[in-house]
A and B are shown apart, each in its own frame.
Chain A
Amino acid sequence: QQPVQSPQAVILREGEDAVINCSSSKALYSVHWYRQKHGEAPIFLMILLKGGEQKGHDKISASFNEKKQQSSLYLTASQLSYSGTYFCGTEIKGRSNTGKLIFGQGTTLQVKP
């Protein structure tokens, strides 16, 4: 039931781009993306609710392919502050959605100067 994220880890130079994928074996109601720095709370990035939805702010955007049960997070022109572990949280379609998120195992992103 846990979504699978890929890659597990990425190392970038400042200014480079990265894509993080999240794939579920279950039909999804929504996909949430969070970033967590070591020892800190996960910070919300964005929610995608509808298949085909794409969202973004600054240089971070995401897409949701409901049919394929997948979401991707795009980081362009990466900055040092982007370093951290990125988690996708999936809300599985059910008779009653409680808002419970099932998180992937995380993708560690390290941006070097």
Chain B
Amino acid sequence: NAGVMQNPRHLVRRRGQEARLRCSPMKGHSHVYWYRQLPEEGLKFMVYLQKENIIDESGMPKERFSAEFPKEGPSILRIQQVVRGDSAAYFCASSPRRGDGEKLFFGSGTQLSVL
């Protein structure tokens, strides 16, 4: 039973380019959470999605960032026109049911570096 899969593991982009980060949740999990982690800091919540729905995007920057979780395929976190401040590790986590004390399973993360 594969865990949460994220790819790519490392992504290098130049300022102004687009970054697409993919997350395949564990089998049977339909709830996905995205977190961002800056060096030496904690995990900051970005967005919570169920299949085809954004449930809570209170942690998403208002511009350039978007997320989706289509009926088929992985969840995608998209960052348009990247800037140096977007450099961070991006983790996704999945759970089989809606929150309420459910354990989150984390992927290994995507390290985004913006040159």
Contact = CB atoms under 8 A, between A and B. Distances in A.
Interface of A: 2, 29-30, 32, 34, 40-44, 47, 49, 87, 89, 91, 97-106
A39 to B, nearest CB: 8
A29 B41 CA distance: 24
B115 interface: no
Interface string B28-45: 000101010000011111
B98 A98 contact: yes
A100 B101 contact: no
Range of interface residues on chain B?
20 to 34
Interface of B: 4, 31, 33, 35, 41-45, 48, 55-56, 91, 95, 98-109
B100 A102 contact: no
Given A100-B56, A100-B99, A41 B108 contact: yes
Given A42-B106, A44-B104, A47-B103, A98 B42 contact: no
Contact of A42 (B43, B95, B99, B100): B43
Contacts of B107: 41
A98 B99 contact: yes
20 contacts: A30-B101, A32-B104, A41-B106, A41-B107, A42-B43, A44-B103, A44-B106, A47-B101, A89-B43, A89-B104, A98-B48, A98-B98, A99-B33, A99-B98, A100-B45, A100-B48, A100-B56, A103-B43, A104-B42, A105-B42
